[in-house]
Amino acid sequence: SWVVLMTVVGAALPVWAGGAAILLVGISSGIRGVFVLAGVTALAPKESRGAIFGAMNMTVVLTAVVFQWGTGLIINLYPSLAPGVYPPEGYRAGFLAVTGAMGLSLLVLRMLGKEPLGSSSAP
């Protein structure tokens, strides 16, 4: 979905297309969240689920902070047009970095295989 958003931005499509792309990002993120929570519920022992969900939430929040800071650093590499106004290339570079990081994370997850926790089943 981020690739769709980047394509819309790169092609300079109308604003409504960007809005539709962002809607797609939100929908796909929501669907992913449901499947992740269901997977953790199915695989994690009952007594550990609270700690696991807490760690997952902490990871999401900390990742958002790091990515916002990181994209800000990338955008600041491009000279500002006026105070607080940055060129589209800076935003494009920042969003490409986020898209690339997400792609790399998918590759890492893929390397885990179909049974990342081994063949044992959760209680």
What's the whole-number mean pLDDT along residues 78-83?
87
Q: Across-strand partners of 85?
A: 82
Quick one: pLDDT at residue 110? 79
Quick one: pLDDT at residue 71? 93
Whether the model clears a pTM of 0.75, i.e. scores above it, the answer is: no
* Max Cα distance, the chain (Å): 59
Q: Where are the domains of the chain?
A: 46-123
Quick one: pLDDT at residue 118? 59
To the nearest 10°, the Cα dihedral for 105, 94, 29, 61? 80
pLDDT in tens, 43-75: 888 898 889 989 988 998 999 999 999 999 999
Cβ(44)–Cβ(52) below 8 Å: yes
Q: Across-strand partners of 82?
A: 85
Token pair for 11: 């092609």
Token pair for 7: 């394509």
Token pair for 41: 């519920």
- Looking from the CA of 47 toward its CB, the CA atoms found within 13 Å total 1
CA-to-CA distance for 34 and 104, rounded, in angstroms? 22
For residue 102, give the 3-state DSSP assignment: helix
Cβ(37)–Cβ(47) below 8 Å: no
